[in-house]
């Protein structure tokens, strides 16, 4: 593996206006991710774009920043429309836009998704919002009612286009493309490039520039063991402290995504008594060298770094690399973990993955040609006994340094306090700084919650039903929902998560009475009778809907189909 880093592109090189650059700097973004470095100049130049990218690559900023650069805030009209498959993603994109537009006074964005009231949405659209982020179903409703205007639309972005097509929204997407003015600039992002996505691009886009991330950095990193700990975002710090108690860490590099995060985490670790410092691109070359030097000499044990700042770092003592945040691409991951296992020593690379990020693991496994071992978070008991044995080891080595003076002290203290020896030892422990953690309660960290997709909240209180017909019959969620609305007399927003299998489909619905079940049983879609019946979740399985697990890598290359799920 080579350590010579390619010249790094800066945000300032991409042609973004000052208010956006300022926002990025206050968010602590250091350098553009690969997809951003390619997509931003293309979109700023007015070209249509077809981007193969998935969550985690920084794709949201890749389209959000050029969109914002083109918004005329003084014009109170919808100038950009962004379509996303789920409510969750719509909200995330809207929030990201707000963050990046923090220095654009008067800027407004609205998220439109199913299951929420129409009235406030009408009002907001009437007042005029600059950007609308919508799920296709709700957007179609608004188009039907004429509440959304397309005259000033400058951008149309499809995010996770493959997911929207999978959900059966091809016709709705066509209708949107036909509705926007001819000159509207279009960007389509998709994690995979199935024929359906290509067809949309061919039909509606002007010679789009195609961007895909290069993958396949296969390096052999023989001296490094890789592990993954599944942990939700707000338990990462606790998980890290625990990790430091159970792993034999000599020195550790912790990778985070932003400069701000590197400072914050280093401070919090210092506050917890660790010898930690930040290493990021804001530090002068001299300060950076100082940090590295202190790490080499053992004056520091933990360095919290951003990717750029830690490039090429070569310190033998580094026994562990912690990916506190996942990197944006597999190449960065390989660079990161290569900071350990140097000079023939063995090293451990640990990855914190949130449930949402679980699916990215196989990309990293491919890039490194190794398995990443899943690791359970150490239990409270393991932590307690770890602390106890460390103290026992310290006491044993201290015994060599005790002598007559210490013994005299003990007898004086026993006399002065009138305690017996055990009471005295307990009292000493209670005031010994290093032993404080021994009496602190240790709780088990909660397991990371299952991933929430758009619509999950609606599934609470719903019952799972099974219908005949699945992927093999080209059953799509939309006709199914239409049939449930028409024949089951359900409201669209009452329908929860839908999971397609090969020959059948699971759908979360309010409990249906016998008459409704009978009405639905004979309804046919694509020549298959639904034969709907209740389908309780098996014991031990979460009652939440199973998460969708698209099998694709960072660069969006489709993977061979997963083994059929037993259900
Ligand atoms: P996305 O792939 O759009 O879901 O972004 C993944 C995460 O990376 C989000 O938390 C973003 O805020 C963050 N992010 C995006 N671009 C950058 C960047 N250039 N530097 C640091 N963090 C970023």
Look at ligand 1, atom 20, and give the residue with the nearest C-alpha.
29
Residue 424's alpha-carbon distances to 112, 420, 433, 459, 537, in angstroms, are 67, 6, 16, 58, 57
Nearest to 65 by CA among 94, 40, 46: 40
Distance from the alpha carbon of residue 326 to the mean position of ligand 1, in angstroms: 10
Distance between CA atoms of residues 418 and 63, nearest Å: 74
Distance between CA atoms of residues 363 and 215, nearest Å: 9
Token look-up 């305690």 returns 419
User: Considering the domain boundaries, does residue 501 fall inside one?
Assistant: yes
Ligand 1 binding pocket mutation candidate from 257, 259, 552 (most atoms within 8 A of CB):
257
Our answer on whether the CB atom of 322 is closer than 6 Å to any ligand 1 atom is: no
Tokens of 182: 């001819």
Together in a domain, 172 and 285:
no
Ligand 1 binding pocket mutation candidate from 26, 33, 53 (most atoms within 8 A of CB):
33
Together in a domain, 173 and 261:
no
Tokens of 102: 């923090």
Nearest to 65 by CA among 83, 39, 31, 87: 39
Look at ligand 1, atom 9, and give the residue with the nearest C-alpha.
58
Distance from the alpha carbon of residue 243 to the mean position of ligand 1, in angstroms: 25
Which of 215, 238, 261 lies at the terminal end of a domain, its last residue?
Answer: 215
Cβ atoms of 277 and 418 closer than 8 Å: no
Our answer on whether the CB atom of 57 is closer than 6 Å to any ligand 1 atom is: yes
Residue 365's alpha-carbon distances to 221, 281, 558, in angstroms, are 11, 28, 16
Phi, psi (rounded to 5 degrees) for 442? -110, 125
- The pLDDT tens digits for 486-516 are 888 888 777 888 888 888 899 988 888 888 8
Look at ligand 1, atom 8, and give the residue with the nearest C-alpha.
58
Which of 161, 191, 215 lies at the terminal end of a domain, its last residue?
Answer: 215
Residue 303's alpha-carbon distances to 235, 240, 291, 493, in angstroms, are 20, 13, 8, 48
Our answer on whether the CB atom of 545 is closer than 6 Å to any ligand 1 atom is: no
Neighbours of 141 (CB within 10 A): 17
Ligand 1 atom, smallest distance to 11 CA: 19
Q: What is the DSSP string of 286-339?
A: HHHHHHHHHHHTTS-SEEEE-HHHHTT---TTEEEEEESS--SSHHHHHHHHTT
Our answer on whether the CB atom of 32 is closer than 6 Å to any ligand 1 atom is: yes
Together in a domain, 18 and 163:
yes
Tokens of 471: 């992927």
Quote the Cα angle for 371-375-380, to 5°: 170
Quick one: pLDDT at residue 452?
41
User: Considering the domain boundaries, does residue 504 fall inside one?
Assistant: yes
Together in a domain, 311 and 245:
yes
User: Considering the domain boundaries, does residue 454 fall inside one?
Assistant: no
CA dihedral 312, 314, 319, 322 (to 10 degrees): -20
User: Considering the domain boundaries, does residue 149 fall inside one?
Assistant: yes
Q: Which of 219-247 are b and which e, b meaning 16 or more Cβ less than 10 Å from the residue's Cβ?
A: bebeebbbbbbbbbeebbbebbbbbbbeb
Nearest to 338 by CA among 299, 367, 371: 367
Cβ atoms of 291 and 310 closer than 8 Å: no
Phi, psi (rounded to 5 degrees) for 10? -105, 155
Report the CATH number that the domain containing residue 292 is assigned in CATH.
3.40.50.300
Tokens of 287: 């300060």
Phi, psi (rounded to 5 degrees) for 267? -65, -45
User: Considering the domain boundaries, does residue 135 fall inside one?
Assistant: yes
* pLDDT tens for the 567 residues of the chain, in order: 334 444 578 999 999 999 999 999 999 998 998 899 999 999 999 999 999 887 778 899 999 999 999 999 999 999 999 999 988 889 989 999 999 999 999 999 999 998 888 888 999 999 999 999 999 999 999 999 999 999 999 999 999 999 999 889 999 999 999 999 999 999 999 988 889 999 999 999 999 999 987 543 334 477 899 999 999 888 899 899 888 888 888 999 999 999 999 999 999 999 888 999 999 989 888 898 899 999 999 999 999 999 888 877 888 899 999 999 999 888 889 889 988 887 668 899 999 998 778 778 888 988 888 889 998 888 878 888 877 887 888 888 888 888 889 999 999 999 999 999 999 999 998 888 767 677 776 777 765 554 443 333 336 567 888 998 888 888 888 889 888 988 888 887 778 888 888 888 999 888 888 888 888 888 888 888 888 988 876 543 433 444 433 333 344 444 344 343 333
Rg (CA), the chain: 28
- Tell me if residue 398 falls in helix, strand or coil: helix
**How many domains in the chain?**
4
- Sheet containing 504-509: which strands, arranged edge to edge? 498-500, 504-509, 463-468, 533-534
Distance between CA atoms of residues 431 and 548, nearest Å: 52
- The pLDDT tens digits for 91-104 are 989 999 999 999 99
Name beta bridge partners: 305: 255, 279
Our answer on whether the CB atom of 33 is closer than 6 Å to any ligand 1 atom is: yes
Our answer on whether the CB atom of 66 is closer than 6 Å to any ligand 1 atom is: no
Ligand 1 atom, smallest distance to 306 CA: 21
Distance between CA atoms of residues 485 and 124, nearest Å: 28
Together in a domain, 518 and 425:
no
Together in a domain, 342 and 278:
yes
Together in a domain, 205 and 343:
no
Our answer on whether the CB atom of 56 is closer than 6 Å to any ligand 1 atom is: yes
Token look-up 């042609």 returns 15
Residue 295's alpha-carbon distances to 268, 343, 493, in angstroms, are 18, 16, 56
Distance from the alpha carbon of residue 60 to the mean position of ligand 1, in angstroms: 7
Max Cα distance, the chain (Å) = 94
Together in a domain, 294 and 333:
yes
Together in a domain, 430 and 521:
no
Report the CATH number that the domain containing residue 527 is assigned in CATH.
3.30.70.330
User: Considering the domain boundaries, does residue 542 fall inside one?
Assistant: no
DSSP strands (E only) in 161-297: 185-190, 209-212, 224-230, 251-255, 276-279
Distance between CA atoms of residues 50 and 193, nearest Å: 10
Model-wide pTM > 0.75: no
User: Considering the domain boundaries, does residue 311 fall inside one?
Assistant: yes
What are the residues whose beta carbons fall under 8 Å from the beta carbon of 261, sequence distance 6 or more? 28, 304, 324, 325
DSSP state of 506: E
Distance from the alpha carbon of residue 135 to the mean position of ligand 1, in angstroms: 22
Residue 373 lies in domain: 218-378
Quick one: pLDDT at residue 311?
79
Together in a domain, 230 and 114:
no
Q: How many helices (H) and strands (E) does the chain have?
A: 22, 20
Together in a domain, 196 and 139:
yes
Phi, psi (rounded to 5 degrees) for 91? -65, -40
Together in a domain, 207 and 291:
no
Quick one: pLDDT at residue 363?
86
Look at ligand 1, atom 14, and give the residue with the nearest C-alpha.
58
Our answer on whether the CB atom of 257 is closer than 6 Å to any ligand 1 atom is: yes
User: Considering the domain boundaries, does residue 363 fall inside one?
Assistant: yes
């Amino acid at each position: 593996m080579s350590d010579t880093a390619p010249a790094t592109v800066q945000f300032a090189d991409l042609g973004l206006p000052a208010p956006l650059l300022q926002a990025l700097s206050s968010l602590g973004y250091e350098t553009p991710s690969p997809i951003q470095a390619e997509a931003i100049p293309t979109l700023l130049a007015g070209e249509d774009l077809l981007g193969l990218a998935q969550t985690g690559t920084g794709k949201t900023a890749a389209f959000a920043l050029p969109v914002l650069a083109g918004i005329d805030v003084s014009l109170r009209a919808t100038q950009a429309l962004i379509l996303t498959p789920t409510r969750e993603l719509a909200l995330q994109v809207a929030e990201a836009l707000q963050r990046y537009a923090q220095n654009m006074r008067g800027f407004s964005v609205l998220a439109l998704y199913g299951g929420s009231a129409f009235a406030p949405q009408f009002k907001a659209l009437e007042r005029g919002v600059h950007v609308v982020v919508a799920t296709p179903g709700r957007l179609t409703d608004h188009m039907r009612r004429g509440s959304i205007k397309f005259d000033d639309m400058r951008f149309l972005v499809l995010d996770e286009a493959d997911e929207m097509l999978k959900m059966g929204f091809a016709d709705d997407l066509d209708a949107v493309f036909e509705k926007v003015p001819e000159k509207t600039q279009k960007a389509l992002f998709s994690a995979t490039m199935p024929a359906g996505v290509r067809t949309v691009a061919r039909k509606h886009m002007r010679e789009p520039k195609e961007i895909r991330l290069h993958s396949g950095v296969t390096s052999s990193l023989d001296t490094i063991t890789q592990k993954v700990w599944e942990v939700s975002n707000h338990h990462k710090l606790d998980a890290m402290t625990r990790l430091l108690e159970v792993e034999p860490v000599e020195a550790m590099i912790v990778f985070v995504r932003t400069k701000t995060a590197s400072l914050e985490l280093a401070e919090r670790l210092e506050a917890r008594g660790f010898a930690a410092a930040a290493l990021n691109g804001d530090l002068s070359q001299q300060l950076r060298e100082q940090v590295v030097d202190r790490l080499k000499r053992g004056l520091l044990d933990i360095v919290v770094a951003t990717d750029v700042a830690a490039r090429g770092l070569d310190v033998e003592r580094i026994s562990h690399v912690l990916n506190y945040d996942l990197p944006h691409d597999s190449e960065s991951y390989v660079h990161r973990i290569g900071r350990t296992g140097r000079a023939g020593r063995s090293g451990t690379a640990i990855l914190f993955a949130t449930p949402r990020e679980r699916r990215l693991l196989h990309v990293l496994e491919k890039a490194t040609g190794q398995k990443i071992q899943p690791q359970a978070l150490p239990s409270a008991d393991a932590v307690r006994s770890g602390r106890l044995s460390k103290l026992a080891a310290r006491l044993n080595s201290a015994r060599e340094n005790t002598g007559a003076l210490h013994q005299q002290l003990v007898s004086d203290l026993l006399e002065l306090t009138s305690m017996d020896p055990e009471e005295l030892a307990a009292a000493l422990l209670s005031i010994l700084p290093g032993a404080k953690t021994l009496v602190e309660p240790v709780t088990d960290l909660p397991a990371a919650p299952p991933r929430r997709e758009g619509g999950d909240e609606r599934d609470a209180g719903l019952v799972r039903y099974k219908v005949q017909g699945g992927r093999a019959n080209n059953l799509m969620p939309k006709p199914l929902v239409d049939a449930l609305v028409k024949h089951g007399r359900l409201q669209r927003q009452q329908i929860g998560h839908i999971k397609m299998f090969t020959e059948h489909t699971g759908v979360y619905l309010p409990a249906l009475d016998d008459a409704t079940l009978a009405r639905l049983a004979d309804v046919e879609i694509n020549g298959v009778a639904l034969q709907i019946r209740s389908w309780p979740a098996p014991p031990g399985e979460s009652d939440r809907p199973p998460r969708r697990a698209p099998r694709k890598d960072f660069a969006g290359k489709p993977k061979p189909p997963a083994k059929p799920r037993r259900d």
